[in-house]
Every structure is written in C-alpha cells, then in structure tokens.
Amino acid sequence: MQLKHLLEALPSPVSVPESAAAIEINEFAPLDKAKAGSISFLASAKYRRLLESSEASAILLTEKERENCPSSITAIVVDDPYLAYAYLSHQFDLTPKGSGHIHPTALVSDAAQIGRDVTIEAYAVIEADAEVGDNAHIGAHCIVSEGAKVGEFTRLQHHVTLLHRVEVGTHCLIQSGTVIGSNGFGYAPLPEGKGWQPIAQTGRVKIGHYVEIGANCTIDRGAIEDTVIEDRAIIDNLVHLAHNVTIGRATALAAQIGIAGSTHVGANCSAGGQSGFTGHINIADNSHFTGQAMVTKGTTEAGLYSSGIPAQASGLWRKMVARIRKLDSLFERVDAIEKKLK
C-alpha cells in the first residue's frame, strides 16, 4: 500500500513530501525491528535512542521529535503518534472477514430474527426469539440463547455464550470463551447450617455500543436490576463482573479484575490488573486505580488511587513486615507516654 493511501485512514489530513507519497508500506514494526517497507511510531522519548539505527521507511512522531528523525526516514508529523498508530493498524488487520452466510451446521431457530448479511459460523446455535442485527458475525460454537439480542456489526469470536435475554449493542467485539448472563452469586443462608437457598436471578445484562470484552470473561446477570456496561467501555481478559454491576462509559478494566455485586463504576475510569472491588460501592467518574488495588470503599472525586505493596528485595520486605507486626504495641507505648506527658 502506498504511504499516501495508508495515511488516508487518519481522521485528519497529514501532509507527506511528494517524493515519499508513493513509498510502499507493507507492515507496522517496532523501531528497532523495522525494515524497508515498514512504518513505525515514536510515542515516548525513552525510545528516541532507537531512531538513529531504525531502518523504517516512515515513522509517526510529533513536531518536537521531527529534528531527531534521520534524513533516510520519512517523518510523518502527527499530534499523537500512538493514536495515529491505532487508526492505521486496522489497515493491516488479518482477522478473517465475515462471509455473510450461515454455515450448514449452524442451528438457527425458525423463531429467531436474523438480519441482512449476517455471518454465522459452524456449529453456532441461535435459539428462539433471539435477534441478530445486520452485518453481525457469530463465531463457531457460539450460543445466542432465547431472547438474546446482538446488535448490527457486532462480532462474537468462537465459543462465546450469550444466555437468555442478554442484550449486546452495535459494533461490539466479544472475544472467545466469554460467558455473559450467567447467574449471579445470590444465596440466602438456611437456618442451623443447612446450606443455602438460591435466589432466582431475574435481571439481564445490557451492553452498550462499541464495547469490547476480552477472552474468558464472566459477566453475571442482575438479581433484580440489570448488570450494565455502557458505551465504549473496554474490558480485558479474565475479568469477572458480578450481578447488578454497572460499568460507566469509556471505562477500561485490565485483566484479572473482580468486581463484586451492585458496585457502580463511573465513566472514564480505569483499573490496573488484578484489582478487586468490594460490593455495593460507588466509584466516581475519572477514578483510576493502579494494579492490584484493593478497593473496599467508594470514591467521591476523580483521582489516582493505589494500594498493595510493590515487590522488593525479600530481606527488606521481611524487615518491613516484622515492623508492621509491632505497630500495635508501639501505638500503646506512645499512647501511654502521651498520657503521662499530659
């Protein structure tokens, strides 16, 4: 693909020297691995040292970095190189496109509503009263259960399960192995240790538009109210959302996060990997949590929040823990001294 044609995928026009417009670009590559025909990007000054030895044909960078670009490489000046890379990366996407056909081994109920140009791959199951919108793509071995809805241009990768009455909006992507609409963990204790009485989970899961959900996630349906994921949220692999959780617009959750029931996470929030949220709390818009945060209380204002102890040398860590164990006795001694001084 010629460089000038590739750059047409950017939302704003970018000027290219006439002598470089016809350069053939065939891949994105990191600065230190790029060859002739590669395009790369410089999004952080810490990688500036790689510019001099890079063999890329073109590099996305800011005006500030233009002077550091070797004359042998075409500098493409943009406001945000990483965002520009995100736009252009789709020109090299190798994900198979939909055929617009239903595979003969797929089981599609006569009572299901299937839109135009829908792809349904081998052994998928579409149950009665399910709805699949125009240009949707249902991967092999997926299940779209009774009364579930899949919006137009949404793609379910292989082995995705949408249980009854789940609603997924338009232009969404749900990766393989994810289960949406499983029963929430709702039980009432029986007397005298006789076990637990299950609570029927009568809510739904409602997912907005342009939402992306990673592989092997589990999203429980609501107990009474719905579990909700709002527009443009992104969820990484191996995330669990319990019943009645709400995830606000454009919020990002990294891998291995667990959010307990009835917690409401606001818009434009983010949480690092392995963070855990207790139930029945409210997280304010624009709250951000570093990895392994243990969130036991809600937030009332935007900000960056952290907990947990970063890894350090074992000897130092043991010394610190030993001192923590002495905090109670130290507190009592200080308290006694203060009383005497008074």
Site of tokens 């009592």: 332
> Which ranges of the chain does DSSP label H, i.e. alpha helix?
3-6, 81-89, 314-325, 327-341
The pairing of beta strand 196-198 with beta strand 187-189: antiparallel
Q: C-alpha distances in angstroms, 329 versus 193, 317, 325, 337?
A: 38, 20, 9, 12
Note whether 173 and 191 are within 8 A (CB): no
With a CB cutoff of 8 Å and minimum separation 6, the contacts of 66 are: 75, 77
| CA–CA dist 233, 54 (Å, integer) | 35
> What torsion, rounded to 10 degrees, do the Cα atoms 329, 331, 332, 333 define?
90
Would you please indicate which residues are annotated as catalytic (active-site) residues? 243
**Could you count the other beta carbons within 10 Å of the beta carbon of residue 32?**
14
Note whether 251 and 268 are within 8 A (CB): yes
Residue among 147, 144, 153, 138 nearest 103 (CA): 138
Rg of the chain in Å (alpha carbons): 26
